[in-house]
Amino acid sequence: MKKIFPLCMALLGAVSCCKKTQPGEPALYSAADFDSTIDGKAVSLYTLKNANGMAAQITNYGGIIVDVWVPAKDGAFKDVVLGYPKLADYFVPENTFAGAITGRYANRIANGKFTLDGKEYSLAINNGPNTLHGGIVGFSKKVWDARTFTNDAGEQALELIYVSPDGEENFPGTLTTKVVYTVTVDNQLRIDYTATTDAPTVLNLTNHAYFNLHGGDHKTSVNSHRVTINADRYTPTDSTLIPTGEIASLDGSALDFRTPTTIGERVLGPDSAFNYRDGYDHNYVIRRSSPDVVEAAEVYEPSTGIVMTVLTDTPGIQFFTGKSRVQQDETAPFYRSAFALEAQNYPDAPNHPDFPSAVLRPAKLIAKRPFTVFRRGSCSMIILRREPAKRRFPPRFYGFRSPCLSETAFGRNESLFGENGWSEY
């Protein structure tokens, strides 16, 4: 059985140490600081670039996105992923998922249990009473087989493969997963997931990169980032972040990002029935009328002019603002210094028959295409000074097309857009 998950989106990383913004080429991390052997398998750091100067560094340990360099409006390159300069930094418990592929099941499974074809499976509990991101030793802690290649479009790519044996973390079936990272000619970081299984299993793959569009040393809060999410519903949760089963409207709530809103506007505002002062950690139901790739979210930082657009064909996207990283002292370094947008199935879907199915069976083909797109005002036909502050996702709107973005990324005719490439307001 095969499952393909493509994603186009902007990436974030873990807290990036002391790397400075460079006016010229990106200041990449040293590959030597990632060279290692774990469980008899070689670990390395791989660099992907395009002609625009965009660069991404990825290690085959957990498929971690270590950094992503994109040009800001002043021409300087900014590292927008919160990543670490050495492999050993990722062994610290609080950095376990930073930038990594998470699986077999990303997000949570209630009480570490699910039933498949009449058989109950019990998983390791590693997050309160629940299973998080695949268990104790999920995909984020595995060394993946790796090879670099250049695709037919002349784009640099990294292919990662991991074979998860039957019973690993007590999930059924031998699962072979392939993840391909590509830096495209138009400043996309594309992630394609493919998986095959020899027995029915459950699967939910995503990447847990943390982003900060200020770049630089990443000590600056992301509260000024303007976020737009293409969703009018979400999945409410209980106190342990397990969905209640309800699909609720966002109307009138502090979670509604259909119009561009800064991250800090509500978490720093007065308390209300929706008290998210500790940050966001919610699954949004992406609005769509077909299974095609659509724009799920956009994040814009006015000071750098960097825009990050997330496109995917997954049913949901988790918006996370580093709640676990919030410190008591709001002036402390790294206070609210990151956000994540994780394209995914719904949390705990195996235990909710009304949610999109997470079951993967032999000989089945499913596609997941997530993409991360970075752009700035110098792009043809895009005027960064025209801040999209009034934009709202109307009922038939699934994203806007930038001339920097390949139309084929959407897999559809782009007739929804105005003559200048922007959506109608």
Whether 340 shows a pLDDT value over 90: the answer reads yes
**Is residue 377 assigned to a domain?**
yes
d(CA 425, CA 10): 23
Q: What is the DSSP letter of 258?
A: S
Q: What share of the chain is helix, strand, coil (3-state, %, to 5)?
A: 10, 35, 55
Contact 182, 48 (CB under 8 A): yes
Q: At 127, which helix (H) or strand (E)? A: none
Contact 299, 258 (CB under 8 A): no
**Is residue 423 assigned to a domain?**
no
Residue whose C-alpha is closest to residue 162's, from 139, 128, 180, 183: 139
Tell me the CA end-to-end span of the chain in Å, nearest whole number. Answer: 43
Tens digits of residue pLDDT in 372-392: 665 542 221 122 222 333 333
d(CA 64, CA 55): 14
Q: What mean pLDDT, rounded, does the chain reach?
A: 80
**Is residue 422 assigned to a domain?**
no
418-422, long-range: CB within 8 Å, 24+ apart, which pairs?
A: 420/381, 421/381, 421/382, 422/386, 422/388, 422/391
- Provide the pLDDT confidence category of residue 16 given band limits of 50, 70 and 90: very low
Tokens 């390791």 sit on residue: 124
Tens digits of residue pLDDT in 285-325: 999 888 888 899 999 999 999 999 999 989 999 999 865 45
Catalytic residues: 208, 342
Q: Could you list the residue range(s) of the whole structural domain that residue 8 is in?
A: 2-409
Q: Which two tokens stand for residue 125?
A: 């509990």
Q: Residue 31's domain is classified under what CATH number? A: 2.70.98.10
- Provide the pLDDT confidence category of residue 276 given band limits of 50, 70 and 90: low
**Is residue 290 assigned to a domain?**
yes
Contact 58, 46 (CB under 8 A): yes
d(CA 223, CA 66): 22
Q: Which two tokens stand for residue 353?
A: 């028959």
Angle CA(297)–CA(274)–CA(10) in degrees, nearest 5?
A: 15
Tens digits of residue pLDDT in 150-171: 999 999 999 999 999 999 999 9
**Is residue 419 assigned to a domain?**
no
d(CA 83, CA 64): 9
C-alpha 268: how far from chain center: 24
**Is residue 418 assigned to a domain?**
no
- Provide the pLDDT confidence category of residue 269 given band limits of 50, 70 and 90: low
**Is residue 329 assigned to a domain?**
yes
More confident residue, 364 or 184: 184
State how many domains the chain has. 1
| Helical segments of 199-308, H only | 263-267
Contacts with 109 (C-beta within 8 Å, 6 or more apart), sequence order:
123, 130, 131, 348, 350, 351
The rounded percent of the chain whose pLDDT value lies above 70 is: 73
SS3 152: coil
